[in-house]
Amino acid sequence: MERAQIESYIGKLCAQAGENEEFYRSFCENLFADEGICRELVYYMENGTFACREKVEGYTVVDVMIWQIDHFKAWLDRDTSGTGSNSGRMLLLAFDTLLKMKKDPAQYVLKMQSETGTDYEGKFK
């Protein structure tokens, strides 16, 4: 897939998400610098589903998205962010978070393991 097609898709996601030009440029720069995560987004664009081949500390973009959905549940009642009802924003932020995780995985792993309403084995140890 050509870079221009990917940039156009990202532009549409940014518009849907209410993100500005600065976010768009930064996201594109980070995405094209990471071949694996870029392939994940292209796979999603082409198939409408996730390949989940690229992992950061064992987490995929789907794991990030689930964490974000769980994390944003508290906001759904008041939903001032608009994220809970904006699937494009959720997708964009999941890929953005995965890109950021590559640079600082420990920070995001800690958040994903501690900022959740879901109880899992070992959470309270």
pTM for the model: 0.80
Q: Could you tell me if 13 and 45 are in contact, meaning their C-beta atoms sit under 8 angstroms apart?
A: no
Q: Which residues contact 26 (CB under 8 A, 6 or more apart)?
A: none
Could you read off the pLDDT of 9-60 as tens digits, one per residue?
Answer: 999 999 999 999 999 999 999 999 999 999 999 999 999 999 999 999 999 9
Measure the CA–CA gap between 67 and 33, rounded to whole angstroms.
24
d(CA 26, CA 100): 11
